Amino acid sequence: MTSKDLQQKFSSVYTNFFSRCTYVVSAPHSFLWSGDFSGFYGGLTISSKIPLRFYVGIEETGNKGIEISNDSLAYFSNRDAFEQMSLNDQLKQAIISQLSSVDGKKIHLLSEVPLGSSLGGLGAISACLALLLTEQLKSKGVKEQNNKPADQKMSLFPRAWGVARKLQTGRTLGATTYAALSSSNYPVAFYAQGAKYWAKPLDQIAELGKNPVWPVDFGLIYSGKLVQGAAVVANAEEIKRISEERETKLDFRRISINPFWIDYINFLKQITNQNLYAMCDLFQKGAHESSQRFFFNTLNQYQNMLHFLEISNPEIDRIYAKIHHIANAKDNRVGSGAKITGVGKGGMVLFALPYGEYRDKIEDEFKQNLIYASWRDGTDSQEAVVEQNIALDNFSQLISKESFKLTVYTKLGVSQRIVSKESLAKNDLDIVVDIYHKKILIPGKEISSKQLPSQKSASLILFDLLKSPSKILKNSQLPKSYACSRFDLQSKITSPLSKLCDLDFEISGGIYDNYCLKIKNIGGKIGIVEKI
């Protein structure tokens, strides 16, 4: 299942989401090939994006403060439905605190996998928020000084990583946040020590082709249980404490034995390093038996080592065993690979198999719990992007073609939203400038040509006047009929408009040239309607 599949099948979900939001950003989910735990302790991690995304949208409310919508949704593949997204209070408050500079807004969230699936949800959210904050600063004219790398989106990473550390308590990985901002289609290697980091897609580490050609099949199977990453990592810290406590109870003074935890984490780090070598070897040599065998073994070795952390469960063990059983059911000289991806105790099981040989059996066995399959869903290279920004007339293809952009002007400021024809008829505006039909509409009033000689000219002038930052137009900017005489402008446009609604105009300058039209006061609510 991909974003495009979901958008086609659940079009109303996406239409409702994008129609509510004036601004939408999205970022891809991802998974970890290796380094799931050792990455928390200064080790390498290797991640890949999948063609499923997380969306953050902003709805203008005009109210003070910021709030998170109570109807945020996530897609559950095992039930083939979008359902209420589970957000704990800590995460809600953390998101709100990151967006404290965005006032008078409601935040809408939409995810194509449930949070707690161990599919880089934290990284995707963090990338979205960093992009959103950066674009908001740009819109306010704030210039940020930084040394941008060749990939412009990667300049967002320090901010996005900072967001991730504030969204999750305890240890966090920067790997999935980096992957969400990377435009590469290759897996990404990531290493961090404190605030310093090193990260590159595989084609920048080894001599590889422009686009990856996978000589194996791989995918992700849902274990049936969601997890809280911070809680599992905290559990690992407890295992670390217990192992250290055991060691203090035994007398090893006469022999030199390294503490278990240090050797354990170091060994996990080494397996991840081997996984990196194996993956590069796989891309360079293709379906060579030794390359496949090496690659599969690194996945299995990492999984076997994770048993020390007690992060498996019966269902994960069943999936792991079933994958290997399917692979071994017929002659197979290279084996298969499977492991928990993420922190374990639920989430996803990652598998890798020889190319093209077991697809039907995998699909038949796991059905809707097969969240992602490389042969079915492909790979994803699109990083975090702005999906919609109606202030710049950037509209998503997912909103209804019958929608309108409504810009509302009051003495307090300007707001925008997307509206349907039906909701437009129920508006609370004092005057509507319908620029699409070139008409002026006032609720409850019929406007005759005697009252307003030219609705077309009046709508164009009022549109340009309100759009102008200074709310001033020179006569050269007016329609030709009103660019040569301020008397015609006053008698046929401004005076009639002032009588029909609470608007105050001022015309200054010459009589037949070099004059200006200014809107001095906006009373009530004026709406400009534009067809999308």
pLDDT tens digits along 68-125: 998 899 999 989 999 999 888 888 888 988 887 777 889 999 999 998 888 999 999 9
Q: How confident is the model at residue 412 (pLDDT cuts 50, 70, 90)?
A: confident
Report which DSSP code applies to 226: -
Q: Are residues 220 and 87 in the same domain?
A: yes
Both tokens of 43, joined, read 């080790």
Whether 150 shows a pLDDT value over 60: the answer reads: no
Between 138-152, 425-439, 471-485, 507-521, the lowest mean confidence (pLDDT) is in: 138-152
Strand partners, 75: 82
Tokens 């819109």 sit on residue: 139
Q: Are residues 451 and 317 in the same domain?
A: no
Q: Are residues 472 and 352 in the same domain?
A: no
CB atoms within 10 A of CB 243: 15
Tell me, letter by letter, the H, E, C secondary structure of 128-161: HHHHHHHHHHHHCCCCCCCCCCCCHHHHHHHHHH
Average pLDDT over residues 206-219: 93
Q: Whole-number mean pLDDT of the chain?
A: 88
Tell me, letter by letter, the H, E, C secondary structure of 106-136: EEEEEECCCCCCCCCHHHHHHHHHHHHHHHH
Please count the structural domains in the chain. Answer: 2
Do the domain assignments include residue 441? Answer: yes
* CA 116/CA 181 separation, integer angstroms: 20
Average pLDDT over residues 163-178: 86
Reference 519, options 483, 472, 480, 481; nearest CA is 472
Whether 261 shows a pLDDT value over 70: the answer reads: yes
Instruction: Note down the domain range covering 452.
Output: 402-531
Tokens 């994803």 sit on residue: 380
Do the domain assignments include residue 124? Answer: yes
Q: Between helices 229-249 and 260-285, what is the axis angle to 10°?
A: 130
DSSP 293-338: HHHHHHHHHHHHHHGGGT---HHHHHHHHHHHHHHTSS--SS--EE
Q: Are residues 192 and 316 in the same domain?
A: yes
Q: Are residues 339 and 443 in the same domain?
A: no
pLDDT of residue 143: 57
pLDDT of residue 140: 60
pLDDT single digits (tens) 375-397 = 999 987 799 999 999 988 899 99
pLDDT single digits (tens) 330-352 = 788 899 999 998 877 788 999 99
What share of the chain in percent tops pLDDT 70?
A: 94
Q: Are residues 363 and 474 in the same domain?
A: no
* CA 403/CA 531 separation, integer angstroms: 7
Q: Where among 389, 418, 435 does a domain terminate?
A: 389
Whether 400 shows a pLDDT value over 90: the answer reads: no
Q: Are residues 379 and 287 in the same domain?
A: yes
* CA 462/CA 383 separation, integer angstroms: 40
**Domain with 118 in it: what CATH number?**
3.30.230.120
pLDDT of residue 522: 83
Do the domain assignments include residue 397? Answer: no
Q: Are residues 423 and 484 in the same domain?
A: yes
290-323: b or e for each residue (b if 16 or more CB lie within 10 Å)? Answer: ebbebbbbbbbbbbebbebbebbeebbeebbebb
Half-sphere exposure of 231 (CA within 13 A, CB side): 9
Between 109-113, 138-142, 495-499, the lowest mean confidence (pLDDT) is in: 138-142
Sign of CA dihedral 95, 100, 102, 104: positive
Do the domain assignments include residue 115? Answer: yes
Q: Are residues 458 and 383 in the same domain?
A: no
pLDDT single digits (tens) 282-335 = 999 988 999 999 999 999 999 998 888 777 888 999 999 999 999 998 788 899
Q: How confident is the model at residue 147 (pLDDT cuts 50, 70, 90)?
A: very low
Do the domain assignments include residue 396? Answer: no
Do the domain assignments include residue 394? Answer: no
Bridge-based pairing state of the strands 431-434 and 73-76: unpaired
Whether 139 shows a pLDDT value over 70: the answer reads: no
Both tokens of 58, joined, read 């902003």
Q: Where among 364, 389, 414 does a domain terminate?
A: 389
Q: Are residues 435 and 356 in the same domain?
A: no
Q: Where among 334, 367, 389 does a domain terminate?
A: 389
Q: How confident is the model at residue 366 (pLDDT cuts 50, 70, 90)?
A: very high
- CA angle (419, 422, 424) in 5-degree steps: 50
Q: How confident is the model at residue 153 (pLDDT cuts 50, 70, 90)?
A: low
Tokens 């069943």 sit on residue: 318
Tokens 């990592």 sit on residue: 233
Strands, sheet with 526-531, edge to edge from the N-terminal-most edge strand:
413-419, 404-410, 526-531, 431-434, 439-441
CA distances from 86 to 68, 110, 160, 272, 480 (A): 12, 11, 22, 32, 58
Both tokens of 128, joined, read 């979205």
Q: Are residues 259 and 300 in the same domain?
A: yes
Average pLDDT over residues 461-484: 93
Do the domain assignments include residue 395? Answer: no
CA distances from 389 to 22, 57, 67 (A): 6, 10, 20
Q: Are residues 209 and 311 in the same domain?
A: yes
* CA 374/CA 357 separation, integer angstroms: 13
Report which DSSP code applies to 411: T
Do the domain assignments include residue 116? Answer: yes
